[in-house]
Amino acid sequence: MSNLALVTGATSGIGRAFAERLAGDGYDLVLVGRRRERLEEFAAAHTGVEVRSVAADLSTGEGIDTVARICAAEPLTLLVNNAGVAHYMPLADLPADLARELVGVKVLAPTLLTRAAVAGCRSAAGARSSTWPA
C-alpha cells in the first residue's frame, strides 16, 4: 500500500514545498489549488509518483464540498491543510465578504476536510500497522 497525501494550497509557497517534499519521499499526491495550470505543471514534473490535481476554491462551499468528498473517499495517510488567504486591514475595515472568505478558508475548510479524512486515515493506519513487524 502506498502513502497518499492530500495537500491544499499546493500551487505555491509552503503548500508547494510540502508537495515537493512528499513527492520526494515517494508519496502519491492529491493536490488542491485554485490554479489548475500550476497543478498540472507540478504533476508533469513529478512522474515518479501519482499526482492528481483538483482545482477548487476553498473559500466556497462548493470547493470545500468537492475536496471533502475526496477526503472521505480516499485512504489518506496525511492531510496537509495549508490553503490560505490574507486581507491585511483592521477588522473594523474588513468587508463582510472578505471576512466570510477568511473564515471559509482558514476555519471551515480545515475543519470539514479533517472531519472527512479521519475515517480513511484511521483505515490506512490500521492497514499499515497490520503489516509492521511486532
pTM score above 0.85: yes
C-alpha cell at position 29 = 499526491
| pLDDT of amino acid 36 | 96
**Location of C-alpha cell 473559500:** 59
Count of CB atoms situated within 10 Å of the CB of 22: 24
Segment 30-38 shows an average pLDDT of 96
CA angle 54, 117, 46 (to 5 degrees): 40
For residue 110, which of 83, 74, 86, 87 has the smallest C-alpha distance? 83
**Location of C-alpha cell 500497522:** 129
* 6 within 8 A of 33, measured Cβ to Cβ: no
H or E element, residue 78: strand 78-80
pLDDT band at 134 (very low <50, low <70, confident <90, very high): very low
Spacing of C-alpha 128 from chain mean position? 22
Burial of residue 53 (number of CB atoms within 10 Å: 0-12, 13-18, 19+): buried
**128: pLDDT strictly greater than 80:** no
Residues 68-111 have pLDDT tens digits of: 999 999 999 999 999 998 888 999 999 999 999 999 999 999 99
Segment 23-30 shows an average pLDDT of 97
Single-letter amino acid code for the residue at 53: S
Identify how many contiguous H helices and E strands the chain contains and give both numbers: 5, 4
For the chain, give the percent of residues with pLDDT over 90: 83
